A and B are shown apart, each in its own frame.
Chain A
Amino acid sequence: MIRFIIWRILQCVPVGLGISMLTFIMLSLAPGDPVTLMLGQHVSPQIMNNVRQELGLDLPFFSRYLHYIWNILHGDLGRSYIQHQEVTTMLLDKIPITFNLTLVAMTFAITAGVLIGVLSAVKQRSPWDTFATGFTLLGISVPSFWLGMILQLIFGVILRILPVSGSGGEGFHLQYYILPGFTLGFASMAMYAGLTRSGMLEVLREDYIRTARAKGLSKPVVVFKHGLKNALIPVTTHAGMDFASLMGGTVLTEMIFSLPGIGTMLINAVSRRDYPVVQGVTLFLALVFVLVNLVVDILYAVLDPRIRYD
C-alpha cells in the first residue's frame, strides 16, 4: 500500500513539470513584449531595461524556466499586467467564491442525482424511469448558460424569490448560490443519476439482495441500506474528479450570475490579454486537477484493494 502511494505520488512529478512547462511556454509564445504590456508605451528604454533585468526576462529560455519554477515553489505567480496586483493575492481572493459555488453545485447534483437514479432503477421500465432517462438526456444536452438565464427569468423576474446576480458581499450567503449552483450542477446531476441507476440495477440482481428480501426485510431497507451502499462506490470515486472539473467549469455560470470568482477572473484576463493571470489561473486549476486525481486514486486503492494489482 505504502509503495503504491509513493509510486502514485512520484507519477505526479512529470505531469506537474509538464504542466508548468506548458504554461511557461504559453507565456513565452504570447504576442507582445511583457514589459511594454506592463508599463505602457511611454516609458524610457532605460527603465524598460531595468524592469526586464529585474524580472529576469533577459536570461536565456531555460534559466527563465528555472526562475519561474523557483517562483512558483515560493507561491509567486507573477503580477497582473492590468491590475498591477500579485496573481497569487488575486487568486486567493477569488477562490472562496468558486469553491462555494462548486460545493453547492455538488451537493445538489449528488443528492438529486442519486435520488433520481435509485427511483428509476427500482421502478425500472416504468413511466418514471422513462421520464428520468429523458431528464438525464436533457441534463447533458442543455447549454448551462441558457439554463442559467431561463432560471433568472423564472425565479428572479417572474416569481421574485431569489437574487439573480452577485455573491451578496462578504461571507457566504446561500440564497445567492442556489440558482448558480443548480445551473452548474445540472449536468453532473444527470451523470450521477445515470451512474446510480446502472449501479443499482447491477446490485439489485445480486444474491445478497434476494437474501435480504427473503429474510423479510422491507423493500426500502433493502434498497437503501443493502443496495445503495454498494451502488454508491462508483459515485463516490466519480465525485472527486467531478469536483475538480466543476471548479474549472464555472466560467459560464459565474459570467451569467455575475459572481466574481476564478472563472470571471480568467475570462477578463483572456479578453484583455493579461497573460500572467491566465497563466496563474491555468496553473492553479491544473494543479487542483492533478492533486484531486491523486487523492481519488489513493482513496480508490484503499476502498478497493484489487486496483493496486493492475
Chain B
Amino acid sequence: MKLSKGSQFGLVIVALMTLVAILAETIAPYDPMQVVLKDSLQGPNYKHLMGTDLLGRDILSRIIFGARASFLIGVIATSISLLIGIMVGSVSGYYGGWVDSLVMRLTDIFSAFPYFLMAIIIMTFFEPSMISVFLVLGIVGWTNYARLVRGQVILVKVSSYVEAARSIGAKDGRIILYHVFPNILSPLIVYTTMNIAGVILAEAGLSFLGLGVQPPTPSWGIMLSEGKDFIFNAPWLIFWPGAALLFSVIGYNLLGYGLRDRLDPRSKQGGESNGSRLVNSCQRS
C-alpha cells in the first residue's frame, strides 16, 4: 500500500510521537516534575533547549512527557468510543425497526452538541483527572462511530454474501462479527485515525480549562494554561506546547487523509467523505 507524500509525513510524525511517548523516561534530559527555583523562566539555552517554566522545570522534558499523556488519552478514549459505537451501531443497523429508531433518536440528542462542549458539561460530574478524561472523551465520542457503523452495516447487510451466510444457517452474532464487520473496517480505520487528532485537541482544551489532567502531571494543555499569564514576558512557555500539539494533530490528520484516499477511492476527487466531515465537526473547539 503506497501512501501519498503528505501522508507518509503524517505517518512519520505519528510514529515519532508514539516513540517519544513510550521512551519518555529514556530521552527526557531532566525529570519533568523537578522544581529548580533558581532556574525559573529561563529562555531557550544550552542547558535547557526549550527553556524553563516558572518553577524552573525543563520544558523539553515536560513536552516529552506531555506526549505520553496525549498519546494515552488519544488511544484509550478513542478505543472506548470505538467499542461503544461498534456495539450500538451494528445492533442498530443490523436489526433495524424500533431498536434502530430509538438508537438514532438517542444519537440525535447526543449530537445536538459539539463534541467539546458536551465533554465540558459532562466533566461537571467528575473530579478532574486523567481517568475521567479517558472516560468522558470516550463516552462523548461514541455517537459518530455508531452512525458510521450503522450506515455501513445497512449497506453491507443486504449484500449477497451476507444473504449466503444466512442461508447456510449462520447466527446473527457470527454474521455481524465475521461477515459484516470486516467489510466496514476501512472507513472505521480512517475515522479512528482522525478522531485521535480530535481527542488530543479536546484533552488539551479540557486541561487548559482546568477540567482535565491536573498539575503537576505534564500535559500540553496544562503547560499552555500555566504559560498564558506569561505570554508577554516568556512567550516560549506557550510556544512549545502549542507547537507540539499542532505538530501531532497535523500528523494524525495527514495520515487519516492518506488512508481515506487509499481505502475509499470515492473521496479522491477532493470531496469530503463522511468521516472527515464528522471529524471536522468534532474538532471545533
Contacts and interface: CB of A to CB of B under 8 A. Distances in A.
Contacts of B253: 137, 140-141
B197 A141 contact: yes
Contact of B114 (A31, A138, A198, A248): A248
A224 interface: no
B41 interface: no
A146 B113 contact: no
A188 B106 CA distance: 27
A91 to B, nearest CB: 15
A150 B245 CA distance: 14
A141 B208 CA distance: 17
Contacts of A191: 280
Interface string A14-35: 1100110010001001110000
A270 B120 contact: yes
Interface centre among B241, B254, B281 (most CB of A within 10 A): B281
A255 B121 CA distance: 16
Interface string A226-255: 000000000000000000011011011001
Interface in A270-309: 270-271, 273, 275, 278, 282, 285-286, 289-290
A117 to B, nearest CB: 11
Interface in A194-219: 194-195, 197-198, 201-202
A168 interface: no
Given A153-B231, A198-B271, A245-B281, A143 B105 contact: no
B231 A145 contact: no
Contacts of A245: 114, 281, 284
B204 A143 contact: yes
A267 interface: yes
A270 B124 contact: yes
B214 to A, nearest CB: 13
B208 A145 contact: yes
A138 B231 contact: no
Given A198-B269, A252-B285, A19 B109 contact: yes
Interface string B249-285: 1100110010000000000011110000001110111
A249 B117 contact: yes
A143 B246 contact: yes
B172 interface: no
A72 interface: no
A255 B221 CA distance: 14
A14 B238 CA distance: 45
Interface in B158-207: 197, 201, 204-205
A26 B246 CA distance: 34
B210 interface: yes
Contacts of B257: 137
B210 A271 contact: yes
Contacts of B246: 138, 141-143, 146
B114 A267 contact: no
A144 interface: yes
B112 A270 contact: no
A198 B249 contact: no
A187 interface: yes
Nearest to A249: B284
A221 interface: no
B232 A251 contact: no
A77 interface: no
B285 A144 contact: yes
Interface in B95-134: 105-106, 108-109, 112-114, 116-117, 120-121, 123-125
Nearest to A184: B284
A143 B205 contact: yes
B242 interface: yes
A168 B39 CA distance: 38
B187 to A, nearest CB: 19
Nearest to A18: B109
A126 to B, nearest CB: 14
Given A146-B245, A271-B210, 18 more contacts: A14-B105, A137-B254, A137-B257, A138-B246, A140-B279, A140-B280, A143-B245, A145-B205, A149-B231, A248-B113, A249-B117, A251-B116, A252-B208, A270-B211, A278-B121, A286-B112, A286-B113, A289-B112
12 contacts: A18-B106, A18-B108, A143-B201, A143-B249, A145-B204, A149-B231, A188-B284, A198-B271, A201-B269, A248-B117, A267-B209, A271-B209
Q: In the A-B complex, list the 8 residue pairs whose CB atoms are closest, starting with the nearest.
A: A146-B242, A141-B249, A18-B109, A141-B250, A289-B112, A248-B117, A198-B271, A249-B284
Interface of B: 105-106, 108-109, 112-114, 116-117, 120-121, 123-125, 197, 201, 204-205, 208-211, 224, 228, 231-232, 235, 238-239, 241-242, 245-246, 249-250, 253-254, 257, 269-272, 279-281, 283-285
